[in-house]
Amino acid sequence: MKLLENKTAIITGASRGIGMGIAKIFAAHGANVAFTYASSEAPALALEEELTQLGVKAKAYKSDASKFEQAEALVTAVVADFGTIDILINNAGVTKDNLLMRMSEEDFDAVMEINLKSVFNMTKATQRTFLKQRSGSIINMSSVVGVKGNAGQSNYAASKAGMIGFTKSIALELGSRNIRCNAIAPGFIETEMTEKLDEKTVQSWRDGIPLKRGGSPEDVANACVFLASDLSAYVTGQVLNVDGGMLT
Ligand code: NAP
Write out pLDDT tens, residues 165-217: 999 999 999 999 999 999 999 999 998 877 888 999 999 999 999 999 999 99
CATH of the domain at 122: 3.40.50.720
Alpha carbons within 13 angstroms on the beta-carbon side of residue 191 total 23
Q: What is residue 162's predicted lDDT score, i.e. its pLDDT?
A: 99
102 within domain boundaries: yes
Determine whether the shortest distance from the Cβ of 70 to ligand 1 is under 6 A.
Answer: no
Ligand 1 pocket test target in 11, 41, 66, 94 with most atoms within 8 Å of CB: 94
Length of the chain, in residues:
248
> Would 247 be classed as within a structural domain?
no
Atom 18 in ligand 1: which residue has the minimum CA distance? 64
Residue located nearest, by CA, to atom 8 of ligand 1: 13
Give me the pLDDT at residue 195, please. 83
Residue at 66 is within a domain: yes
Q: So what's the pLDDT on residue 188?
A: 95
How far apart are the C-alpha atoms of 16 and 10, rounded to whole Å? 15
124: in domain: yes
Structural domain harbouring 205: 8-241
How many of the other CB atoms lie within 10 Å of CB of 222?
15
**pLDDT value, residue 1:** 82
- The answer to whether residue 156 is catalytic is yes
Q: Does a structural domain hold residue 129?
A: yes
List the chain residues with pLDDT less than 70: none
The answer, yes or no, to whether any atom of ligand 1 lies below 6 A from the CB of 38, is yes
177 falls within a domain: yes
Report if residue 248 sits inside a domain: no
Which residue's alpha carbon is at the smallest distance from atom 2 of ligand 1?
Answer: 17
Q: CB of 35 closer than 6 A to ligand 1?
A: no
Provide the number of structural domains found in the chain: 1
205 part of a folded domain: yes
